Structure 1
Amino acid sequence: LELCTYVIAQGGMVAGAIYDDEMTIRHVLRERMEDCLAFAGSKYAQSSLGDIFSEIKETLKTGRLVLFSGTPCQIAGLRRYLKKSHPNLLTCDLVCHGVASPLAFEGYVKWLEGYQKKRIASICMKDKTHGWLNPQIRVEFSNGKELNGSDETQVWQRAYNSALYMRPSCYRCPYTSFQRTGDISLGDFWAVQNIKPDIFNPNGVSLVLLNTEMGKEVFSHIKGNFKTEPLSEKEAIQSSLSVPVKMPEGRSSVMNSLSSKGFMSHARSFRSSRATRYRTRLGRFIRMVASKLNSRNQ
């Protein structure tokens, strides 16, 4: 969001991914900071680009600064579409593990809404209530009910982690290296507690790669808002910067089942057993009661 703040302060516009009212992930172009807040947070599925490339092209023609945030392959696509470089285009790519099929994500949303019998109002894919190293999916429904880290919400996290629902191109991604498409790359600095234990923060530590002179120049204007620590390439290496995600066995049959039988035809295997779910709910109930009793006794 600091990049968004900087670009908008220069009279620019920002293109990023949001969840729309139908919980479809799509890219939009915005010029007000309050509208850019929806760009924050991981989305974990492929976004619909729609007409965003043409909108960016027309905006660049006016001389306004434009920030585009997306996956490395989306930025590569944008550059090919524009055909020439633009000094007023700033790009920020993600250290990407892969994007899941929109059909799979749509199936998850429909299943979860059917299970709760309410529409989803918002999704946070990496809620840090329990810390950065134990992120949970938090879902709020139209009636105000919230599920945070429940077995039902975590189905998508387990499905994503299985790599069964990734786009075919992700298994042979050419961008899993330090040769980036964006001026700036952002990601989680996993294993920071082992590599740089003195800067570990339970709320999370970000990895920032400055890939071009423009990226370095822009970051110099916002650097003061962060606590930064220089890294060597060896220290910064992540699996998503070295090799593409491996295609699991059975991926074809799972995707065929997704198309013909729906998301839960296979994804039900990512749910815990009924006994485990009951124990989890009982544990939450006991902790809630204990918390209330402690507050009364204070």
Structure 2
Amino acid sequence: MSVVGLGDRDRLLAAAIAAVEVAGQVIRPFFRSGLGAELKGDQSPVTVADRNAEQAMRTLLSQRVPEAGILGEEFGLDRPDARLRWVLDPIDGTRAFITGRPTFGILVGLLMDGVPVLGIIDQPITGERWVGVAGEPTHFAGPFGGAAGTRSCLSLNEAELSCTSPAMMDGATQPRFDALEAGVRRTSWGGDCYAYGLLALGHIDIIAERDMKIWDWAALVPVIEGAGGRVTDWNGDRLREDGDGSVLAVGDPALGDRAVEALRGRPG
């Protein structure tokens, strides 16, 4: 599915870029400032930077694209019946943010009839940005080099696996993750959305995570698919808002089926 038409595509993309830029302006002064965090009901941290950044994005997007709904992690859903829906995570990786690590990111995704058609991962401290539009190659810009494009990796035993935290797993899912981890070359921890950006640059081969909400993954899908990768749940099915919260991203689409089999306890 592509973004409506050329005129809509350009307008929507410009609005998404403006949204991450205004969020970055809000967030940067708080970075490494000793900012404290509160705990939400699910025990995840949130800061005034998260809330202020989301409010700034919501205001801008409501003005630029008034026909679209907006779903944000901090302030819920506006215009639920809209065909187009922005999905916002102002700081994906709040734990990284409050501990001074530049591995968090601003996520802006756009759904059309529930399907991700546009996504941006923006790192406002390092100046790196990944832009994905359905049906188009992913664009990456940043000061450290790199180019959008996943790498070939056909074998699990050659793959670099990444996951944000072991705490994502529970008693039912830990054995499944362990089975996948047992078959790969190496596992690295941490990264939040930044790790998905690295997968889109060809530095990571597999990311397997659980307990992911739609604002955690909506922006990632167009970025990774436009770089040549594949994003599904742990069963190999398309991600859905009402899914089980599992996310499996692979740089080489051929690796996806092998990873799914490993997660089922049947290494390929």
Is TM > 0.5 for Structure 1 vs Structure 2? no
* Rg larger in structure: 1
> Where is the helix percentage greater, Structure 1 or Structure 2?
1
> Where is the strand percentage greater, Structure 1 or Structure 2?
2
**What is the TM-score of this pair, normalised by structure 2?**
0.29
